[in-house]
Structure 1
């Protein structure tokens, strides 16, 4: 791959991981995500936004809170814009578009870019089975499935994905039942971060690999 394509693939992989770690949000949500007052109220530990309606089955305006667990912060450090009050987190998605028509166009293009590049990473860099074709929908389904399999409350999963109506009282109940530290604990199960034995075993395996093998793995 050319150096330019590697950089684009790096960015697209970051967006793909952000979709998974940000409660399975879609690209329209990613493009509109900002460093708003809630981000600063939590000292940069959480995002809060209203979901963008993407289908007739999706409740427009449903509120979502995303705890910024360490792996998500790592992704943000890699590909997001530096925090500025009310500034866009991923400004390159919408490119400053001022019309809804143009915003939809750029969102669809970014969706296509991410899907194509992540599939290319899976097939050509990781040598995964050709039948594996990740997408934004994949991220959303995986977020719900993996948390459910990890034993997380279905109420939490539903609320965190914005399945409730946009009622302030409902959001407050959600916050009271699941304070930020609990949200952090729940979302950490997306990557099995609490199982230190498995994590340490993986790190030990990576540490034992030669530089040449590591370069091939992450190239």
Structure 2
């Protein structure tokens, strides 16, 4: 009998502990914190509303900034003056967030966001749906994608002013495609724009603005054209010509050629990642970094790209890198700490344009009849490794692709030279 009572007591305690653990997991922790990742030029930090639920954290803007000294004062009970007004504003935000969370039967971040934030954009047609979607992209720092979506919206409304969701049919999409191409635009661009429209249509169906039965995309409906994905790769001997071509010392052209070589040697790195590199990314003879393109899509378990630093990449860093060396300093002089996301995007686009313009000049001088751009650096990295017998798995990891199927599709355009070379043996008897 005693054993049974002891056993029941242990079970009861275990159940109580389990209930307590579940309650703690289901609680939402709410606080105001400085976002030290976003230091501004005046050394202030954005103050963010932070919600923590089941180990997941999300941050929301409060519209308030403070330096670390003011932040310490704001947290004290006897804060005065302008800081007191700011402290009361932050307290109100936190209390309203707590009230909002308590009013939700089953908490989720999506439910909180829908209940807590005012809906500033009423979706009444395709244009306003694009505007709301673009607002989210800009908030997430996806400035480039927002620009593309805005271009798609302008083009679609030029074809059909005041475009509504009921207008989006298979016939409409086919007519838009024909009209767009008739304006001397490429099939690749129309595909990009219509993939943007497809995302908006999916959003409209989720929001109940469009009936799922009216979905116009897919098999036996409208298939978005993909265009020819022409791979822009150089041969090893062409890269050797670029590398050895004499250029005026310390000239802009020499700098851009060196940046292009750096991209090629660093796993076909794109220009945005080049601009975002900091000295803290260098660990011994390796560079470790997360691709800007994939950090959001795989933020739960981001995989860093590891690059072996060659003597040439070290030379380029030593020649063109910013001095003095500091872990938090950008290696190359494109960006500054505290820049807005829009300014960062502008600087990256400027860097791409600069490198491309000078690489065209270099290619022309050495007789390479190709429009050599930064894309050539990435594609050349992949195709040279592929044709040298390097495994697709290694290339996939080096490029930072999320799956092998992505890499196989990426490499498919590089295989013509390999097919030609491997089948030459068939005519060797001649």
Normalized against structure 1, the TM-score is what?
0.62
Structure 1 pair 5/35, CA: closer, same or farther in 2 (3 Å)? closer
> Structure 1 residue 20: deviation in Å?
0.5
Which residue is equivalent to 1:192?
none
User: Segments of 4+ in structure 1 off by > 3 A?
Assistant: 3-6, 58-62
> Structure 1 residue 134: deviation in Å?
1.0
Kindly indicate whether residue 391 of structure 2 is the aligned counterpart of residue 153 of structure 1.
yes
Structure 1 pair 163/8, CA: closer, same or farther in 2 (3 Å)? same
> Structure 1 residue 97: deviation in Å?
5.8
Q: Distance in 2 between matches of 1:85 and 1:139?
A: 27
Say whether the 8 Å CA contact 1:115–1:135 is kept in structure 2: yes
Matches within 5 A, 1:79-94: 79-82=320-323, 83-90=325-332, 92-94=333-335
Q: Distance in 1 between matches of 2:354 and 2:371?
A: 13
Structure 1 pair 62/100, CA: closer, same or farther in 2 (3 Å)? farther
Pick one of 20, 27, 33 that aligns with 2:271. 27
Pick one of 241, 247, 251 that aligns with 1:7. 251
Deviation string for 1:97-135 (max 9, x for gaps)? Answer: 6101011011001100100001111213x2x14x31111
Kindly indicate whether residue 350 of structure 2 is the aligned counterpart of residue 112 of structure 1.
no
Q: Distance in 2 between matches of 1:33 and 1:146?
A: 25
**Which structure's CA Rg is the greater one?**
2
What residue ranges of structure 2 are gaps of 5+ in the alignment?
Answer: 1-246, 404-430
Q: Distance in 2 between matches of 1:139 and 1:59?
A: 25
Say whether the 8 Å CA contact 1:62–1:163 is kept in structure 2: no
Which residue is equivalent to 1:198?
none
Say whether the 8 Å CA contact 1:16–1:136 is kept in structure 2: yes
> Structure 1 residue 63: deviation in Å?
2.1
Q: Distance in 1 between matches of 2:292 and 2:359?
A: 23
Which residue is equivalent to 1:179?
none
Structure 1 pair 142/59, CA: closer, same or farther in 2 (3 Å)? farther
SS in 2 for 1:94: coil
> Structure 1 residue 64: deviation in Å?
0.9
Q: Distance in 2 between matches of 1:26 and 1:33?
A: 11
Which residue is equivalent to 1:209?
none
Say whether the 8 Å CA contact 2:290–2:303 is kept in structure 1: yes
Which residue is equivalent to 1:48?
288
Say whether the 8 Å CA contact 1:47–1:67 is kept in structure 2: yes
Say whether the 8 Å CA contact 1:32–1:88 is kept in structure 2: yes
Q: Distance in 2 between matches of 1:67 and 1:145?
A: 18
Pick one of 33, 39, 52 that aligns with 2:282. 39
Which residue is equivalent to 1:184?
none
Q: Distance in 2 between matches of 1:26 and 1:59?
A: 18
Q: Distance in 2 between matches of 1:70 and 1:114?
A: 22
Which residue is equivalent to 1:98?
339
What residue ranges of structure 1 are gaps of 5+ in the alignment?
Answer: 166-219
Q: Distance in 1 between matches of 2:316 and 2:248?
A: 19
> Structure 1 residue 146: deviation in Å?
0.5
Q: Distance in 2 between matches of 1:47 and 1:85?
A: 13
Deviation string for 1:76-112 (max 9, x for gaps)? Answer: 222223442232111x222556101011011001100
SS in 1 for 2:306: strand
Normalized against structure 2, the TM-score is what?
0.33
Say whether the 8 Å CA contact 2:330–2:336 is kept in structure 1: no
Which residue is equivalent to 2:210?
none
Higher strand proportion: 2
Say whether the 8 Å CA contact 1:53–1:59 is kept in structure 2: no
> Structure 1 residue 62: deviation in Å?
4.7
Larger relative contact order (Cα-Cα within 8 Å, sequence gap ≥ 6): 1
